[in-house]
Amino acid sequence: MRYSDAVTRALLPFALLGLIVACGGDAPETEADDAEVEMPFDVATAGHLQGMVLFEGDPPPPEVLDMSSEPDCAAQWDDQPMRDLVQVSDGHLENVFIYVKEGLDGMDFPRARDTPVMDQVGCRYTPTVIGLMPGQEITFRNSDGLLHNINSSPTVNRGFNISQPVNMDTQRSFASPEVMIPVRCDVHGWMRAYIGVVPHPYHGVTGSGGSFDLRDLPPGEYVIEAWHSQLGTQEQTVTIATGETAEVSFTFTSEMLGTAVVPLGEPIYPHRHHAPHSAPATR
């Protein structure tokens, strides 16, 4: 789809002052070609992928945040506001973005219809990692009622920098696949989030159990990547067979902290999209 369409649609007046509204379905679907896309394979032949992301070693202690300049935000925390960049529970690592990196070339998938919400509560992003498909909308919600700006700095896609000084919702989308797009709030320097855009629905983010579940994959061999904002990336190759559930697990360790290379703004399937040549990653 064309970028300008995405912007036009995203700019439509969704947000309502002082209300938290669930994302309405009032986005006019203008692209007929998009609506016609069907699953490019027979779902009856699909298999599944389940897995777990583990963490070995001692996670770094959470960072104490100074929210004295925003007492309203600080009040939303039970105790001291903290930032846990490496969130581990029982050896299970959270906020890892998992997606199929290779193996789906040449397949066009229908765009996901749901609109994930990235909320801003107590001056932090909830969740901090979200996966999207190209053109799929995301809602940025301000539940704090004070000034946040949502400043995305993609490399492949066009960025945006929205101001939300009150409780409001704003929708945006990204036209091209890109892993990962950093999002920051300049008003509150500790607020960072990441959005992964992949050209298929096979992506997920690990939750409190460190597990993920990618369902209904066409049979075949895939490269799966696990991406973490502090620990870098890992890849594994898996084979999916019809009706079966393959299992895979990734292990990150505390040694990777500080030495990990965290890729940002990398195009996926660059031959299919207009990506800038030799575009530098965020320095």
Interface with another protein includes 12 (CB under 8 A)?
A: yes
Identify residues 242-281 at the interface with another protein (CB under 8 A): 274, 276-280
Q: Is the C-alpha dihedral spanning 185, 190, 195, 196 positive or negative?
A: positive
Strand partners of residue 173: 137
Strand intervals (E) in the chain: 47-56, 63-64, 82-83, 88-89, 92-93, 97-102, 117-121, 124-126, 129-132, 137-142, 148-152, 160-164, 168-173, 178-184, 192-197, 203-205, 211-217, 220-228, 232-240, 245-253
Least separation in angstroms between residue 117's CB and another protein is 16
Please identify, using beta-carbon distances, which residue of 153 and 211 lies nearer to another protein: 153
Among 30, 89, 126, 161, binds another protein (CB under 8 A): 161
Least separation in angstroms between residue 69's CB and another protein is 4
Interface with another protein includes 142 (CB under 8 A)?
A: no
Question: Which tokens go with 125?
Answer: 């992003």
Interface with another protein includes 151 (CB under 8 A)?
A: yes
Interface with another protein includes 115 (CB under 8 A)?
A: no
Least separation in angstroms between residue 202's CB and another protein is 27
Q: Which of 183, 181, 182 is nearest to 148 (CA)?
A: 183
Question: How many CA atoms, within 13 angstroms, populate the side-chain half-sphere of residue 107?
Answer: 22
Task: Fill in the per-residue mask, 55 to 74: x = in contact with another protein (CB under 8 A), - = not in contact.
Answer: --------------x-----
Identify residues 175-234 at the interface with another protein (CB under 8 A): 186-189
Q: Would you tell me which residues interact with another protein (CB under 8 A)? A: 2-4, 7, 11-17, 69, 146-147, 149-151, 153, 155, 158-166, 168, 170, 186-189, 274, 276-280, 282-283
